[in-house]
Every structure is written in structure tokens, then in C-alpha cells.
């Protein structure tokens, strides 16, 4: 990974971590606002099962500014590498609304919004996506979480094509050990006239792994997961195959 990419990503990480120190600012609280954030180092940035860094590591960070009304603004960044002449930075703002559906069993959390995939050095790749999420806490056992989401865009990868993504994920603690399990499966379909996945207009992605929360450091977690897709790799280069085949991904993250 080029030094310039590391420097850009590290700058994002540093600046967002600095902003996070403002969480105790009473001015925010008086305005009905709250601040949260996260920073992570991962061995491979995978987006819906497909590498965004040519299987190289990534430094990532993000923050969310939320209002008591349920409205929120988020910003998330990571280094990326799609090959020759590709952008080196992804910086995604989002705007949404989240609320608990107290009239339904389990009081699930509804989260709807719009996300802008933004590559500052190559605006032709930018695209907007709408999303809706529904989260269920303590769904099966105490401490677990089921998250479902539906995403739609009419400009997938900046190519003016329709795309839908459906995903369901599950996390569960393993007692009080600090360890837990994580699993998800997703389905993506696109307008084949605009984009395809090695000749197909759809694919399935998956993730399965274990997590560990460090009791000595609040918000610090480690994750080791197998992530991959069922995209046909016939005729692909070795790099292309590695980009979509199942691989082990390790992530160290800190929330604040």
C-alpha cells in the first residue's frame, strides 16, 4: 500500500479521533445533540464481500452526530485501491432518521436515510444510495442482535444503473467471556446493461466470524471473519479471483 494512501487515511483517523474528544461538551447536550465515533484498522476493506483495497489493509474512521428527534448526520472514511489510476480515498457522508417502533414486539429500531459514496479525486465514481434498516435486540437470547437492511440506488458505481441490496446479519455474545459470534448474508442485483459481476447481474456475499471485546479498554474490539462471494471467477486474473473469493479478514476497532 502506497505511503500517500496511508498518510491520507491516518490524517482522517487522527482528525476524527480529535473531534471525538468533544463528546463531553455540554453545549452539544444542551442542544439535544450527541456525538459518537469509531476508528478501525482492517487487513482488507470488503464492501459486500468484494475487496476495495486489492486485499491490502485499510485504516477507517467515522463519526455520527445525532439529535434527540432521531435525525443524524454521519461521515465515514477509508483508503481504497481499485487498481491503476484509482482514487485513494473514500469519504461517505450520510443523513438519516432512527427511531424505536415501540408499538411492535421487541421495539425494533428503524433506521432510514441516504448515503453518498464519495471519492474526492474521481467524482465519476460517486453515487447515492437509499437505505432502510430494522434492528432487533435480544431477539433470541439476551445480548444478541438481528439487523436487516434494504438498499437501493439508480446509479450503481456511478454508471446510471439500478441496484438493490438485501442483507441480514446476526451477532451473539458467548456468555460473559468477551467472545461473540457474527454472521451475515447479502444479495445484490444490478442492471446488467450498466454493470455486471463477471457476466451475472446478481451475487450473494457472506460473512462468518468471531469477535472479542477487551474488558480492560472500553469500546475496543477485535474481529476475525471469513468474507466472500459466489461470483463466478472463470476467466478472471489471480487478483480478480482474490478480490471476490472467501478470505480471512482481521479488524481491530475502537468506538467512542
* 182-231 pLDDT per residue, tens: 999 999 999 999 999 999 999 999 999 999 999 999 999 999 999 999 99
* DSSP states of 154-211: SSGGGSS--EEEEEEEEEEE-TTSSEEEEEEEEEEEE-TTT--BTTBSEEEEEEEEEE
Grid coordinates belonging to 38: 469509531
Q: Is the pLDDT of residue 10 over 60?
A: no
Residues 6 or more apart from 132 whose CB is under 8 A from it?
110, 111, 112, 149, 150, 151
Grid coordinates belonging to 119: 471519492
Grid coordinates belonging to 135: 434492528
Residues 129/164, Cβ–Cβ less than 8 Å: no
d(CA 182, CA 36): 22
By C-alpha distance, which of 220, 210, 228, 219 is closest to 252? 220
Residues 88/5, Cβ–Cβ less than 8 Å: yes
Q: Is the pLDDT of residue 155 over 60?
A: yes
By C-alpha distance, which of 194, 206, 256, 208 is closest to 231? 206
Round the average pLDDT of the chain to a whole number and report it: 92
Average of per-residue pLDDT across 227-242: 97
Q: Is the pLDDT of residue 5 over 60?
A: no
Which residue range(s) make up the domain with 79? 3-255
Can you give the pLDDT at residue 23? 46
Report the CATH number that the domain containing residue 123 is assigned in CATH. 2.40.160.40
Domain count, the chain: 1
Can you give the pLDDT at residue 25? 60
Q: Is the pLDDT of residue 24 over 60?
A: no
Residues 98/127, Cβ–Cβ less than 8 Å: no
Amino acid at each position: 500500500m502506497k505511503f500517500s494512501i496511508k498518510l491520507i487515511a491516518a490524517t482522517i483517523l487522527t482528525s476524527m479521533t480529535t473531534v471525538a474528544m468533544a463528546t463531553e461538551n455540554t453545549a452539544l447536550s444542551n442542544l439535544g445533540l450527541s456525538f459518537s465515533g469509531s476508528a478501525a484498522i482492517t487487513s482488507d476493506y470488503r464492501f459486500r464481500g468484494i475487496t476495495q483495497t486489492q486485499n491490502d489493509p485499510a485504516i477507517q474512521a467515522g463519526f455520527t452526530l445525532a439529535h434527540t428527534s432521531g435525525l443524524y448526520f454521519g461521515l465515514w472514511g477509508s483508503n481504497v485501491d481499485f487498481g491503476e489510476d484509482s482514487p485513494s480515498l473514500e469519504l461517505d457522508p450520510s443523513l438519516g432518521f432512527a427511531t424505536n417502533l415501540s408499538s411492535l414486539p421487541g421495539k425494533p429500531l428503524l433506521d432510514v436515510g441516504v448515503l453518498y459514496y464519495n471519492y474526492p479525486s474521481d467524482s465519476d465514481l460517486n453515487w447515492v444510495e437509499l437505505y432502510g434498516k430494522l434492528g432487533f435486540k435480544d431477539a433470541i437470547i439476551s445480548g444478541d442482535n438481528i439487523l436487516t437492511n434494504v438498499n437501493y440506488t439508480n446509479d450503481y458505481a456511478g454508471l446510471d444503473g439500478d441496484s438493490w441490496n438485501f442483507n441480514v446479519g446476526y451477532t451473539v455474545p458467548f456468555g460473559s467471556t468477551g467472545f461473540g459470534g457474527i454472521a451475515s448474508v447479502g444479495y445484490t442485483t444490478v442492471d446488467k446493461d450498466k454493470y455486471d459481476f463477471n457476466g451475472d447481474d446478481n451475487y450473494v456475499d457472506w460473512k462468518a466470524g468471531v469477535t472479542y471485546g477487551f474488558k480492560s479498554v472500553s469500546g475496543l474490539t477485535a474481529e476475525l471473519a471469513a468474507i466472500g462471494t459466489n461470483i463466478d471467477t472463470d476467466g478472471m486474473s489471480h487478483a480478480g479471483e482474490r478480490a471476490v473469493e472467501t478470505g480471512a479478514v482481521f479488524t481491530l476497532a475502537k468506538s467512542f
